[in-house]
Amino acid sequence: MTLKKGYQALLEEAEREIRTLDVDAARALLGRADVLFVDLRDIRELEREGRIPGAFHAPRGMIEFWIDPDSPYYKDVFAPGKTFVFYCQSGWRSALTTRTVQEMGLPNVCHVGGGYRAWREAGAPTESLPERAPAR
């Protein structure tokens, strides 16, 4: 099967249209009240590997619904007024997400090039997730 456009073409297009931060630039934003790091990885990835300290978890499959104020799933954490720094494991999901939310009109968005893998390899700070209560 031949696709009209593969994932590599989508990533190349996204990278031309979005702001990508290297780990040093992203790390400089960590802890600022006007910046929210948004982790797009699956919850199992966060549980296994940790996250950037203070990051908000927004599964990739829900992001369009969570940022749209007209959606019944809207999360007010995405209200304007902050810079949103998206990341995933390698930077692919976050590049596509950043492009999508930028097209939707969410201002001040960017992503971490190389993702959480690059963050960890650079020795940037991480934290474990808090223990979840067992399901009943």
> Which CATH number goes with the domain that contains 31?
3.40.250.10
Establish if 135 belongs to a structural domain. Answer: no
Each residue's pLDDT, cut to its tens digit, for the chain (136 residues) gives 788 999 999 999 999 999 999 999 999 999 999 999 999 999 999 999 999 999 999 999 999 999 999 999 999 999 989 999 999 999 999 999 999 999 999 999 999 999 999 999 999 999 998 766 566 6
The burial of 51, by beta-carbon neighbours within 10 Å (0-12 exposed, 13-18 middle, 19 or more buried), is given as buried
The parent domain of residue 53 ranges over: 20-121
Crossing angle (nearest 10°) for helices 7-17 and 92-104: 60
How many domains is the chain built from? 1
Q: What is the pTM of this model?
A: 0.92
Positive or negative: CA dihedral 71, 32, 113, 91? negative
| 15 in a structural domain | no
